[in-house]
Chain A
Amino acid sequence: MNFRFQNLLGAPYRGGNVVISSNTVLLSPVGNRVAVTDLLKSETTTLPIQSSSNVTRIAVSADATFLLAVDDRNRCLFINLRRRALLHRITFKHRVTAAKFSPEGSLIAVAAGKLVQIWRSPAFRREYFPFELVRTFADFDAKVTSLDWSPDSKYLVAGSKDLTARILCLKKLNTGGVKKRPFLLLGHRDSVAGSFFGVNSKTNRVCKAYTVTRDCYLFSWGFTSDDDSGEGSEPPSPGTPERDVEENLEDSENDGVEKRKKISENGGVKKRKKTDIEDGDEGYLSRGKWELLRKDGFMQGSAKVTACDYHRGLDMVVVGFSNGVFGLYQMPDFVCIHLLSISREKITTAVFNELGNWLTFGCAKLGQLLVWEWRSESYILKQQGHYFDVNCVAYSPDSQLLATGADDNKVKVWTLSSGFCFVTFSEHTNAITALHFIPSNNVLLSASLDGTIRAWDLLRYRNFKTFTTPSPRQFVSLTADISGEVICAGTSDSFEVFVWSMKTGRLMDVLSGHEAPVHGLVFSPTNTVLASSSYDKTVRLWNVFDGKGAVETFPHTHDVLTVVYRPDGRQLACSTLDGQIHFWDPIDGLLMYTIEGSRDIAGGRLMTDRRSAANSTSGKFFTTLCYSADGSYILAGGSSRYICMYDVTDQVLLRRFQITHNLSLDGVLDIFNSKNMTEAGPLDLIDDDNSDIEEGVDKQTRGKLGLDLPGSMPNRGRPIIQTKSLRIAPTGRNFVAATTEGVLVYSVDESFIFDPTDLDINVTPEAVEEALRENQPSKALILSLRLNEDSFIKKCIFAVSPGDIPAVATSIPYKYIQRLVEALADLLENCPHLEFTLRWSQELCKAHGSSIQQNSRNLLPSLKSLQKAITRIHQDLADTCSSNEYMLRYLCSSGAKK
């Protein structure tokens, strides 16, 4: 019963910015969570930490230890990325539009509204208020849009919507008593979409800056120091940034010189050296002049720049436009290397990785996330989720695959262990309403509102059979019998159940009798009885093969929403509109017991509700049910933020999962905050989003199927949290829920193991030898597995005495099982200690049998090699034994004759 959140599928990206840390780890916001994708191992997981609303900005420190996530309501979470633990929280007063860690990691620059705030990073300190505000710059007139640090963490360049970019100095240079103002980089005609520092490759100092404006122009600014030129500077021309109190600057310089002389006269050698060092480094950008070197246009017609990034080492700029085109340019000569189109929707994020060879693009409207290597022009990652709600999910019989169908007419198949979608079927022309895996072979069935049932081959990835009716019907439920020969589907417009044969594809029967849409359809696991539920308050049992009509009818007092069989076939569970779950005995036709669940499932208050959540009747029923594999408990979900788990025998609520705390969705709160209620209604429903189709996306988006039509919904298409489908894996160790957030995966397995010995500096051959000498075989084996040296692994295996094999096998972490299985397979083939190795293999399978079974797809090569080794040894021994037996029989018979 200890299910915990494990992963979020179905939506890899919805908006906000994307960050790549450690060169290969991709972090992207998904709803109010952050998804972590390892681009080398091709795995994606989701952090279990939830924000209070949709995450809009994330930032990662340079050493990939800390993650900063800011959401719609300006709340910030400070997360330890390695341990996935939430360390600190803070709330900014204004909307955060950019956030960046300094290169040395001790400071965080946050653009909050018109302000640029410098906070000290709390790191691992335990303090009452860990964030410390170091400096605030309030020079801007409009929202700050971009930030960039200099390599020495002393300067910032910030672009704003007031058509300026400013060079901010962190230290307060108060020489001569005159306060200095930041440099103004003027000349932009639209808001600044990106601003970056460029460095001199020899001295690693800032010598130039780039600003990209929204109207497709790139400005190159050059910096010249005052040390060389001195006198005789020209008067400022148009385009030269203005600098206030120019006369006072000269006076302050003279004062600085005088001070320096005094210090040198007074101090000794140490003081003089210290002063020289400080004078040399301090504020080198403040003594000089910035000027516009060149201005280049991207020539994209009426498109706008929506995303851009700059790589300092390669001196390259990547720009994403609102028409789906991206360009890669080599600076300082503005040479176009690539100009390609991804789609026709705007690119909302474009990021370089640390080395600069991979480009990451995100398209929020399509939910698309691409990682592209620009030198070899190949895709590293190409993921796109459903961009409408997921309607149904189905597990494969071995629990390795998950199929999802959504309102975007697509069926996607995901690998649960890696979290990736590896195939997408898009032949359907309307929303998918039901999915079913045939238990015996690799066939997936899907039902749709377009009037077809399609069968998909998961080996050849194609649609090999289509089932239709004489006149088109909208199918809303789907099932197949245990052998996969008979397929049944229920409709919502003609209230009939259609029966097809899988082999011939012909329509065999039409079951009539229901008077309302048939939304629940299930075959008995043990016999040929079909159960169907309908909105006409009845559940009917049919014998499909006899063709006699309804066998039995179970009446109810309210509409029946769904029906499921227990896996042993002796119990039937159905949910009704009054929030109850009824349990029937299908053999005797008796009502066994009833669970009253309307209080458990009660949803929150919607944004447009005029009544409180306790008085509202919407969302107080279950729309989806699922039995566990052993039939001991049942999961129930509906139009609510909860998933309820009930014990079937005792009819008690075991646990209630709240699937999200995202305040950007409707129905998450029971009681509203009165500060958000105004005379015009709730503040969130006021259409004050000033973003048009050309601008970049500041917040996360999701597709709204038909919700924008006039008069359709009064809450401006704000998604309402609900669970549409629930499935428990056949192994019983995890379940999935198709919700508004996406497909949530809950599991009892520990998907993340924090290994305290996972420290590279300690893993040495000497450490392995020392552990062996100290008679610690378990530690030695783990260390050798991490070293991945074959000789050491085998040596440690033999160091374990036969009596200790079970204990050592149990203590090995899961991630090393594959390597150990490979070593054992090799030993079986080459080593004479046969019984010892077989004993090892047996104990390993006993200790980690469930993990091996769950992840057999990954372990398949190792397991096959182990099986091959055992089979070959078995054959060799069998030949030897047969030969011995025949020889003995011959010798005995020949002795008897003589």
Chain B
Amino acid sequence: MGEIQESKALAKSKPSTEQDVTDELDLRMKKYLRGEGANLEGLKDKKLKGQLAVKEDLYGKSAKAAAKAEKWLMPSEGGYLEAEGLEKTWRIKQEAIAREVDISSSGKQYDIILPELGPYTLDFTSSGRYMAVSGRKGHLGIVDMINLSLIREFQVRETVRDVAFLHNELFFVAAQKKYPYIYNREGTELHCLKEHGPVLRLQFLENHFLLASINKFGQLRYQDVTMGSMVGNFRTGLGRTNVMQVNPFNGVVSLGHSGGTVTMWKPTSASPLVKMLCHHGPVSALAFHSNGHLMATAGKDKKIKLWDLRKFEVLQTLPGHATTLDFSQKGLLACGNGSLIQVLRDVSGTQNYSKYMTHSMVKGYQIGKLVFRPYEDVLGIGHSMGWSSILIPGAGEPNFDSWVANPFETSKQRREKEIRSLLDKLPPETIMLDPSKIGTVKPRREKPTKQEREAEIEADVEAAKGKKLKKKTKGRNKPGKRVQKKQEAVARVKRPYLEQKIQEEESISRKKQKTREGVELPKSLQRFVRKKASS
């Protein structure tokens, strides 16, 4: 049996001595140091030597202060399953994990069986405290996940396809048969969003307060939930789809289509930002890492691919089929297909995912949606007979920042946070592929403009015209001769500019020809080029 470390405080408290405290502090300090200190003995300049010595001293002090802060402010530690010898981590079952964890953690492992109104889909708030659950036949509810109490449960008696929280647990959206509806926490219907139509998937962009939806006719809509205005309304033209995900890094909405393409959209552009061919068959699932640079896609051609979004290249291709994918806060990837769940993990930190844990649903329940719960090592499963919760060690961030997401916040804190979020609300124009471009200066063009060049030519021509001519001997100073000499001077001055223009035109045409002869397809499609058949 492997060693299991859970997200809990250290159980044992040793009798502390001065030496132990010092050793522990040194161990923590090493994490915050910037490598080894510089060797200052070889320097001749006393002034420089003194300055560097002062700087090294400051580095040490700041590392020590950070280590002290971590000791008191980050009490929990994350950990993973580790196998010993011939054991494999994916052979470890949930029953074995339940025997090794404490009572409060084993209480997070349960099955809720609701056989009549399923299949169920679910959504968590950003703090992970509240969960919205919806059955396809109209069962809607909100659950407090800390004490597992049911806040509100009601029936709408028609098809519900998706459910999503808005910025906090006070409001959630249900994609019902004809239109999406906004309900409050007590189950009161607040809004009926008729412009969206029959919605298949819903996503909420948290920093921008935008509700994004894709409907049966392939129309993508953005609506500002603070003012109620429709920010964007685009026809994708690629058919209906229910594969939709928001990149949490930049707010770009990605759609998976039936032709195997994945498109990325922003609310201020009618054409997609990125259109990449990912699979031969339809795209069945899509997920984003929280760092924004890693995307997982699954298709009907039985492949799961991991993509680098900075270069739009495949990092890894895994066999298998998934109808739902989700990344956890610490980067674990959960794949669900049929009644099987696989959790993949990046062991070495080089974006190389391998099998970490597996889980099989009892009695063949069909998995509909997998969602990792934030700040917990818990995976929520919406399936055809209700929903379940299993323990995945190392999935969640062990220490929460209460300024970002507080699972234990009071109502006063929630109101304060809501005001701050509204004040910090980002406009829709800030959604772009590379958000770090905001705030930078546009580089200046070095080439002179056409107007400047013409002015320069005019100045030279005027200078040539104003030049005084030398008096020639008899017969060479006639008025015709003088005009001819002046024209020759002007042409002599213009010749370098004309030659330069001709050279530029030649270089442009050569460049175009070179481009045409070279790569036909963009870089992301070169792997699909058919190799020429050898005779």
Contacts and interface: CB of A to CB of B under 8 A. Distances in A.
Contacts of A596: none
Contacts of B157: 680-681, 685-687
Contacts of A681: 155, 157
B374 to A, nearest CB: 29
A237 B136 CA distance: 39
Interface of A: 141, 162-164, 184, 186-190, 215, 234-239, 242, 244, 678-681, 683, 685-690, 692
Instruction: Among A162, A188, A687, find the residue whose CB has the most chain B CB atoms closer than 10 A.
Output: A687
B170 to A, nearest CB: 24
A702 to B, nearest CB: 21
A689 B240 CA distance: 18
A242 to B, nearest CB: 5
B282 A162 contact: yes
Contacts of B239: 189-190, 215
Contacts of B284: 141
A162 B281 CA distance: 10
A238 B282 contact: no
B280 interface: yes
A688 B136 contact: yes
B259 interface: yes
A238 B528 contact: yes
B212 to A, nearest CB: 22
B301 A186 contact: yes
Contacts of B259: 187, 189
B323 interface: yes
A184 B323 contact: no
B158 A686 contact: yes
B302 interface: yes
Interface of A is mostly: loop
A234 B281 contact: no
B141 to A, nearest CB: 11
A680 B258 contact: no
Contact of B198 (A184, A239, A680, A692): A692
Given A688-B137, A690-B159, A184 B301 contact: yes
Contacts of A239: 280
Instruction: Among A244, A683, A688, A692, find the residue whose CB has the most chain B CB atoms closer than 10 A.
Output: A688
Interface of B is mostly: loop
Given A163-B258, A188-B258, A687-B177, A680 B281 contact: no
Contact of A164 (B137, B300, B528): B300
B139 A190 contact: no
Contact of A692 (B216, B258, B280): B216
Contacts of A235: 530-531
A686 B280 contact: no
B454 interface: no
Contacts of A679: 117, 139, 155
Given A184-B281, A688-B158, A688-B159, A678 B117 contact: yes
B159 A687 contact: yes
A186 B300 CA distance: 8
Nearest to B282: A163
3 closest Cβ pairs, A-B complex: A680-B155, A687-B158, A186-B281
Contacts of A236: 280
Contacts of A686: 117, 137-138, 157-158
A406 B420 CA distance: 66
B533 interface: yes
A244 B321 CA distance: 12
A164 B301 CA distance: 10
B117 A238 contact: no
A229 to B, nearest CB: 13
B26 interface: no
Given A163-B281, A688-B159, 6 more contacts: A186-B280, A190-B239, A236-B280, A238-B280, A679-B117, A683-B116
Contacts of A189: 239, 258-259
Contacts of A141: 284, 300, 321, 323
B497 to A, nearest CB: 51
A189 B157 CA distance: 31
A320 B138 CA distance: 33
Given A186-B280, A237-B530, A163 B159 contact: no
Size category of the B interface is 20 to 34
27 contacts: A141-B321, A141-B323, A164-B281, A184-B300, A186-B280, A186-B282, A186-B300, A187-B281, A189-B239, A190-B239, A190-B258, A235-B531, A239-B280, A678-B117, A678-B137, A679-B117, A680-B117, A680-B137, A680-B138, A680-B139, A680-B155, A681-B155, A685-B157, A686-B157, A687-B157, A687-B158, A689-B159
A679 B156 CA distance: 11
Contact of A234 (B136, B155, B280, B533): B533
A238 B277 CA distance: 11
A167 to B, nearest CB: 15
B412 to A, nearest CB: 35
Contacts of B177: 687
Given A163-B282, A688-B137, A242 B258 contact: no
A190 B321 CA distance: 20
B301 A242 contact: yes
Contacts of B159: 687-690
A166 B300 CA distance: 12
Instruction: Among B159, B281, B301, B528, find the residue whose CB has the most chain A CB atoms closer than 10 A.
Output: B281
Contacts of A680: 117, 137-139, 155, 157
Nearest to A237: B530
Interface in B280-314: 280-282, 284, 300-302
Contacts of A690: 159
Contacts of A242: 280-281, 301-302
Nearest to A244: B302
B301 A678 contact: no
A523 B258 CA distance: 70
B172 to A, nearest CB: 19
Nearest to A675: B116
B41 to A, nearest CB: 63
A186 B280 CA distance: 8
A111 B329 CA distance: 41
A216 B321 CA distance: 28
Nearest to A242: B301
Contacts of B116: 678, 683
Interface in B135-158: 136-139, 155, 157-158
Contacts of B198: 692
A235 to B, nearest CB: 7
A99 B324 CA distance: 30
A704 B123 CA distance: 38
Instruction: Among B116, B159, B177, B321, find the residue whose CB has the most chain A CB atoms closer than 10 A.
Output: B116
B530 to A, nearest CB: 6
Contacts of A164: 281, 300
B262 to A, nearest CB: 15
Interface in B182-223: 198, 216
Contact of B300 (A163, A244, A688): A163
A184 B302 CA distance: 10
Nearest to A686: B137
B302 A234 contact: no
A679 B115 CA distance: 12
A237 B158 CA distance: 43
A29 B116 CA distance: 29
Nearest to A685: B157
Contacts of B282: 162-163, 186
Nearest to B300: A164
A687 B138 CA distance: 9
Contacts of A687: 138, 157-159, 177
A685 B157 CA distance: 8
A238 B300 CA distance: 14
Contacts of A688: 136-138, 158-159
Contacts of A683: 116, 137
A186 B321 CA distance: 15
Contacts of A692: 198, 216
A235 B532 CA distance: 10
